[in-house]
Amino acid sequence: MNTLTQPKTPEIALQQFSFTVEGMTCASCVARVEKALKKLSGVQEATVNLATETATVQSIDGGVTPEQLIAAVQKIGYHAALSTDTVVNDGNVQSDSEWLKVMWGMALSLPLIAPMLLSVFGIHWMLSGWIQWLLATVVQFWLGARFYRSGWKALAARAGNMDLLVALGTSAGYGLSVYQLFHANTGMPHLYFEASAVVITLVLLGKWLETRAKRQTTSAIRALQALKPEFARVRRAGTELDIAIAQVRVGDLVIVRSGERVAVDGVIKEGSSHVDESFMTGESLPVTKGIGDQVIGGSINSDGLLLVETTAMATESTLANIIRLVENAQAAKAPIQRLVDKVSEVFVPVVIVIALATFIGWWVISGDVQLAIINAVAVLVIACPCALGLATPTAIMAGTGIGAQYGILIKDAEALETAHRVTMVAFDKTGTLTEGKPHIVGLHAINGDDKALLHLAASL
């Protein structure tokens, strides 16, 4: 009897690259970067996350180089750099710089909107049109320069982004006001400098809030990274050396003193101790360890001196793998995010078309060019797609980050999205949901004063 067998398809070896991408402002930018990466020969999958400003590319082994990936991103107007370090920047410097711009915007915009605010209290006062022009020009072309640069890059790449909408909308309002100022025959012309200045200031405020949210959502990864010692004390050829954790090799003998964090994953060769592994297991009580027992990098040696033989390099340690899992979960896209990205990809062109249609419609119906421009500008400035691109990834970052802080690792964004259908969770051991140690939640003295009882307890 003859049998036919299906030939096995050879497995394709894949390699993965991760790098940072700077300059993205909305989901349209994400779509452009992903499209540029996927065009490269050998790329199997490309995922870009706006909230973390990172890109992850899977390609056939040897099919594409990091330099080609970076060049493809830079060609469409963004800055990219290969991620060679797992340290997460907390964004304090960027946040401070953006807050300074917001403060400048508020200071320059306040005199422009002051007449409007004062009129509510019956005070009628108007700033000179020329002074308004001066203040608005500083906001438009100094604080708003980033929108022009980003918008121009988008146009050069035959695409659109949020910054292009802001630049077009505020420029239209600013340009109309300049025209009115220079062509006014008598009296005070109707100017809209405050509109363009306030819109730019509010968008800058939104950028600052966005940066602040990103910094907070990456706090979980920074907390995990803080568990990794920077240096290890290694015994080589009978000599003790303090070296960077990245230089520790498999087989090295690492000395861990009492109170220190275990630098690497390994096996105890000499000594015994009690090791605190609560960050990994959730068990609050230290675990007794002796010769031949495994120890985890990042755990704390409570007492005794240990000599540990390294079994994994720092980049492949248990803690490093946990950090990698959290980063991958935060960078992953939920099914709903893929739908949002598809909508956002065509969002900007559609908004521009609607704004043009609004301008033409109002011009034809009313015959008033000024009114037509104002309504077209309104369409442009209220249609910022930031929320579309940022809401979902930021929520995923927050969820996976807070979970990691409490020892709950989430595999990917899809698992997080489907978790709402879970109705019951079973735990197989006690102490998993608790800290394993009591906390005082209230105090009541049977005899005497509560404060006196506290003083007595504190004196023990």
Query: Would you name the residues annotated as active-site residues?
Result: 428
* Cα distances (Å, whole numbers) of residue 441 to 154, 356, 447, 450: 57, 63, 19, 14
The answer to whether the Cα torsion of 144, 145, 149, 152 is positive or negative is: positive
In Å, the largest CA–CA distance within the chain is 104
Of the candidates 321, 275, 315, the one whose C-alpha atom is nearest the C-alpha of residue 299 is: 275
Report the interhelical angle of 162-182 vs 347-366 (nearest 10°): 30
Cβ atoms 66, 82 nearer than 8 A: yes
User: What b-and-e string marks burial along 415-445, b requiring 16 or more CB atoms within 10 Å of the CB?
Assistant: ebbeeeeeeeeeeeeeeeeeeeeeeeeeeee
Cβ atoms 380, 176 nearer than 8 A: no
Cβ atoms 269, 243 nearer than 8 A: no
21 residue type, one letter: V
Place of tokens 């060769």: 269
Query: Could you give phi then psi for residue 389, rounded to 5 degrees?
Result: -85, -25
> Alpha-carbon distance 399 to 406, whole Å?
11
Cβ atoms 323, 225 nearer than 8 A: yes
User: What b-and-e string marks burial along 276-301, b requiring 16 or more CB atoms within 10 Å of the CB?
Assistant: bbbbbebeeebbebeeebebbbbbbb
Q: H or E element: which one contains 79?
A: strand 79-82
- The residues near 155 (Cβ < 8 Å, ≥ 6 apart) are 164
Beta bridge partners of 254: 234, 308
Report the interhelical angle of 335-345 vs 347-366 (nearest 10°): 40
337 residue type, one letter: Q
